[in-house]
Amino acid sequence: MKILITAGPTREPLDPVRYLSNRSSGKMGYALAAAAAARGHSVTLVSGPVALPPPKDVQVVRVVTAVDMLAAVKLHLATCDALIMAAAVADWRPVRVAKRKMKKGSEQRMLLELKRTPDILKTIAPLKGKKLFIGFAAETHNVRAEAKRKLREKRLDLIVANDVTAPGAGFEVETNRVTIFDAHSEEQLPLMPKREVAEHILDRLEAKCEA
Ligand code: C5P
């Protein structure tokens, strides 16, 4: 299969030296890309800014903002069979990006006006056709209900949900404890290395592809 994977955070600039971002390390998306390439799939990885080496036999496309990531996903979508959106796309970006460094004066407070970034999955949903789409849901509460809502609203074939407050799961760690939902089932996996989580997700993706 040709698989398009996104990974890492996006960075939304405020001025030339500052940005808004999140704690995503990119490890889950990079593990998916490495595992998919090792299975012989052709993999394109659209990566936000992370400190990870490029996985072997993977074409890496580097992006910074959510808008960049949307453009890169749109560009590579036409030629892929499956999309795995593992990136932690920022939800908000500053309304104004200062051209010069914002200097502090005597003020003790500052109001920052933010606007929504594009929802990549919702934007490309009309282009889905027969492609398989997999999303992630990183939650701190109501994991099951949120995952099922996102599966429906983002027109996903599978969603991989995790409680990022659980020990050993979520951001910056080598392991994850996830539940994989499709429209009819849920599969809870034990705590395991992200590479093994990636193998489970790819098993499910390949089974859907063959179905
Ligand atoms: O809505 P939420 O951000 O929790 O949804 C998570 C899923 O949606 C992930 O697969 C993420 O990559 C994707 N997403 C997106 N565009 C955004 C935000 C999230 O495609 N702006």
Would you call 162 a catalytic residue per the annotation?
no
HSE of 92 in the Cβ direction (CA atoms, 13 Å)?
Answer: 10
Rg over CA atoms, the chain: 18
CA pair distance 146, 156, nearest whole angstrom:
13
CA of 88 to the centre of ligand 1 (A): 7
CA of 54 to the centre of ligand 1 (A): 23
Residue in 22, 142, 162, 176 annotated catalytic: 22
Chain segment 45-103, per-residue pLDDT in tens:
999 999 999 999 999 999 999 999 999 999 999 999 999 999 999 999 999 999 999 99
pTM for this entry: 0.96
Burial grade of 175 (CB within 10 A; 0-12, 13-18, 19 or more): middle
Residue to mutate (ligand 1; options 20, 23, 73, 120; most atoms within 8 A of CB): 120
Chain segment 30-41, per-residue pLDDT in tens:
999 999 999 999
Chain segment 154-182, per-residue pLDDT in tens:
999 999 999 888 888 878 889 999 999 99
The architecture that CATH gives domain 2-95+112-210 is 3-Layer(aba) Sandwich (3.40)
The values of phi and psi at residue 181, to 5°, are -110, 140
CA of 59 to the centre of ligand 1 (A): 22
pLDDT at 169 (0 to 100): 83
CA of 90 to the centre of ligand 1 (A): 8
CA pair distance 23, 49, nearest whole angstrom:
11
Q: What share of the chain is helix, strand, coil (3-state, %, to 5)?
A: 30, 30, 45
Q: What sign does the dihedral 198-202-203-208 (CA atoms) show?
A: positive
CA pair distance 171, 38, nearest whole angstrom:
24
pLDDT at 173 (0 to 100): 87
- Among the atoms of ligand 1, which is closest to the Cα of residue 134? 10
- Ligand 1 cavity residues, CB under 6 Å: 66, 85, 87, 89, 91, 117, 119-121, 135-137, 150, 154
CA of 162 to the centre of ligand 1 (A): 13
pLDDT at 165 (0 to 100): 87
Residue to mutate (ligand 1; options 121, 163, 164; most atoms within 8 A of CB): 121
Q: Whose CA is nearest to atom 21 of ligand 1?
A: 119
Is 169 in contact with 136 (CB distance < 8 Å)?
Answer: no
Residue to mutate (ligand 1; options 21, 32, 119; most atoms within 8 A of CB): 119
